[in-house]
Amino acid sequence: MSGMSGTWSRESRGVVRLAVLAALVTVGACRRGDANAEPAGTDAVVIGPENIVIVSEQEIRTGPALSGTLAPEREATIRAELQAPVVETLVEQGQRVAAGQLLLRLDDSAIRDQLLSGRSGVTTAQANLTVAQHEEERNDALLKAGAIAERMVEQSHAQVTAARAQLATAQAQLASAEKQSANTRIAAPFAGIVSARSVSAGDVVSAGTALITVVDPSTMRLEASVPADALAAVRLGAPVDFTVTGYPNRHFTGRVTRINPIADPATRQVRIIASLPNNGGTLVGGLFAEGRVSSESHRAPIVPQSAVDERGLRPSVVQLKGGRTAKAEVTLGLRDAASETVEITQGLTPGDTVLLGAARGISAGTPVRVSAPTDVKK
């Protein structure tokens, strides 16, 4: 019975050790010199390499988080200025166009008649003005010679004034007809890409109908909100780091270009606009993006927040030295809420090994052995 009792006791200790290991939740890697410098005995607590992390010097940033949908910085939806049939469409959706390039034409047959009438009216009014001016000059000369009454001169002056008014009216009518004629030729307002074409040849459009949308994808924008209490960390020109849906493991950097001077009265959020260069045309509008305004950034030793115990008078971590645990007090610096990391200004140096999460509960001086990574069967 004593032999069986001893066997059961060793098995029980093994179960306890397994229970301790199941409670250790963390990420990291192991530095062999610290983790296994001293051979551990049979009473050593065995932990996996995921339960430790190596202190490393990395860039840490702070600032409010942003999220929203990307959209081109410049976008123009061209609408019809008159009612007319569509005669010809010259571009397709997704086609790149140059500034001023003709995109489509509307029927201008009715406008041509107005143009002819307007030009004729200007010619007639100009001729009438010339005749009236000559008459005015002749009468002025006769008045000086005493050959006509002053009343005749006044009449000639009035005729010149009326002729000038008629010419101005005719010129305005011609300008209106020319504008209407120009409105039948739809051109690109800037260089970009046709993102939408709402009509085809043969369609009859009315004034205000959307015809074509052109976007300039060289610069994208993200419109987002930040809490009013974080506004002090946001300034014009501040860098913004983005990650975009559809582009895993890629980071994009933009700048804050606009800050709304009025907070939303319901949410107490302030709208800001961040611009993101897109010279290569990699990004497209409509994608979800999230990022953060970098109000402060520098390189420093950092560890995951789960490695730090802040319940005491001073923050502390549990190090792994010579195969045994040791408590070390530390001084904290910047916190990066996005990556859940914290800067260590004192108490640790790059290369030190610390335990994470529940592993911090292992008593100081306890022998610890780090197991080899488990191979994953394919």
pLDDT single digits (tens) 51-108: 788 888 887 777 787 888 889 989 999 999 989 999 999 999 989 999 999 999 999 8
Instruction: Provide the pLDDT for residue 32.
Output: 40
Q: Which residues pair with 289 in a beta bridge?
A: 68, 244
Give the integer Cα–Cα distance in Å for 343 and 349. 11
pLDDT of residue 373 exceeding 70: no
Give the integer Cα–Cα distance in Å for 310 and 373. 30
Q: Is the residue at 134 inside a domain?
A: yes
Q: Is the residue at 44 inside a domain?
A: yes
Decide if 333 contacts 305 (C-beta within 8 A). no
Residue 296 is which amino acid? Answer: E
Instruction: Provide the pLDDT for residue 241.
Output: 82
Q: Is the residue at 376 inside a domain?
A: no
pLDDT of residue 183 exceeding 70: yes
Give the integer Cα–Cα distance in Å for 303 and 326. 17
Place of tokens 């081109």: 72
Residue 123 shares a structural domain with residue 156: yes
DSSP, collapsed to helix, strand or coil, labels residue 122 as helix
Cβ-proximal residues to 142 (8 Å cutoff; 6+ apart), any chain: 148, 152
Residue 293 shares a structural domain with residue 221: yes
Q: Please give the DSSP secondary-structure letter assigned to residue 361.
A: G
A 10 A CB-CB count for 353 gives: 23
- Phi and psi for 191 in degrees, rounded to 5? -70, 135
pLDDT of residue 127 exceeding 70: yes
Residue 225 shares a structural domain with residue 284: yes
353-355: strand order across its sheet: 52-54, 353-355, 316-321, 324-329
Q: What is the dihedral of CA 289, 295, 297, 303, to 10 degrees?
A: -70
What value does the mean pLDDT take over residues 332-348?
80
Higher per-residue confidence, 227 vs 127: 127
Q: Please give the DSSP secondary-structure letter assigned to residue 191.
A: S
CATH number of the domain bearing residue 176: 1.10.287
Domain of 237 in residue numbering reads as 65-73+217-297
The predicted-structure confidence for 195-209, as pLDDT tens digits, reads as follows: 999 999 999 999 999
pLDDT of residue 39 exceeding 50: no
SS3 of the chain: helix, strand, coil, percent, to 5: 30, 35, 35
A 10 A CB-CB count for 100 gives: 10
Q: CA angle, corner 278, sides to 197 and 264, nearest 5? A: 80
Decide if 174 contacts 115 (C-beta within 8 A). yes
Read off the tokens for 373.
Answer: 């990574």
Residue 324 shares a structural domain with residue 302: yes
**Residue among 111, 95, 113 at smallest CA distance from 103:** 95
Give the integer Cα–Cα distance in Å for 360 and 364. 9
Q: Which of 247, 274, 297 is the last residue of a domain?
A: 297
Read off the tokens for 256.
Answer: 């804050």
pLDDT cut 90: percent of the chain above it: 23
Least confident of 221-230, 272-281, 290-299, 320-329: 290-299
A 10 A CB-CB count for 194 gives: 19
- Phi and psi for 75 in degrees, rounded to 5? -150, 135
**Residue among 321, 75, 103, 80 at smallest CA distance from 219:** 75
Q: Which of 268, 297, 326 is the last residue of a domain?
A: 297
Residue 331 shares a structural domain with residue 347: yes
What value does the mean pLDDT take over residues 355-364?
79
Instruction: Provide the pLDDT for residue 361.
Output: 79
Place of tokens 């307007």: 118
Q: How many domains is the chain partitioned into structurally?
A: 3
Residue 346 shares a structural domain with residue 319: yes
Q: Is the residue at 90 inside a domain?
A: no
Read off the tokens for 134.
Answer: 């000559």
Give the integer Cα–Cα distance in Å for 237 and 378. 49
Read off the tokens for 223.
Answer: 């419109």
Instruction: Provide the pLDDT for residue 109.
Output: 86
pLDDT of residue 176 exceeding 70: yes
What value does the mean pLDDT take over residues 322-350?
83
pLDDT of residue 43 exceeding 80: no
Residue 366 shares a structural domain with residue 306: yes
Instruction: Provide the pLDDT for residue 34.
Output: 45
Q: Which of 183, 204, 229 is the last residue of a domain?
A: 183
Residue 302 shares a structural domain with residue 282: no
Give the pTM: 0.56
Give the integer Cα–Cα distance in Å for 370 and 32. 9
Residue 244 shares a structural domain with residue 283: yes
Q: Give the distance from CA 246 to its chain's centroid.
A: 15
Residue 283 shares a structural domain with residue 311: no
What value does the mean pLDDT take over residues 351-366?
82
Region for 244 from its dihedrals, namely left if φ exceeds 0, alpha if ψ lies in -120 to 50, beta otherwise: beta
